[in-house]
Amino acid sequence: MYEWIVFIHIASVMGLLLIHPVTVAFHLKEERNDTRIRELLEVSEAASTLRWVFFGLVVASGIVLGFMGSFWGSAWIWGALVIFVAIGLVMNLYGGRTIDRIADTRDDAEMERLLTRFRPGILAVTGTGGLLVILYLMLFKPTL
């Protein structure tokens, strides 16, 4: 049973990554056609529900695995959880809110300003780097 929960956990992370809007953010950064920008934002919004489903599966399966493996007394699982929450905060506060502001603006000059200041690389580095550290913690379960 443990292996199946691990499978669900990893598959959920893959699902989250497949539908994640960071890819859209990189296209959005380079786009200047208002119609195309709106289409990219619609694609990102359309995946929102499914993104939350995968996020919930990641959290739920991680919690179950923590109990099944009796890992809650280990520092590595708490570190992984803190990193996961931090990734979510950066993605939401920097990525989500910025994209929402871009979507809500009707002023071309303001949209250009927002797009010029937007740095999707921050999202990519935060997400990739954070998930690699979590993967390390999960695989090697270091003791501190």
pLDDT value of position 117: 92
State phi, psi for 15 to the nearest 5 degrees.
Answer: -60, -40
Mean pLDDT by 10 residues, the chain (144 residues): 92 84 84 88 84 91 96 96 93 88 90 91 92 94 86
Q: The tokens 């502001």 sit on which residue?
A: 101
Give the pLDDT of residue 79: 96
What tokens appear for 92 in the block? 């939401």
pLDDT score, position 15: 86
> What are the residue ranges spanned by the domains of the chain?
2-140
What's the confidence (pLDDT) of residue 45? 83
pLDDT of the residue at 120: 92
For residues 37 and 39, give the distance between their C-alpha atoms in angstroms, rounded to a whole number.
5
| pLDDT score recorded for residue 46 | 82
The DSSP code sequence of the chain is: -HHHHHHHHHHHHHHHHHT-THHHHHHHHH---HHHHHHHHHHHHHTHHHHHHHHHHHHHHHHHHHHHTT-TTSHHHHHHHHHHHHHHHHIIIIIIHHHHHHHH---HHHHHHHHHH--HHHHHHHHHHHHHHHHHHHHH----
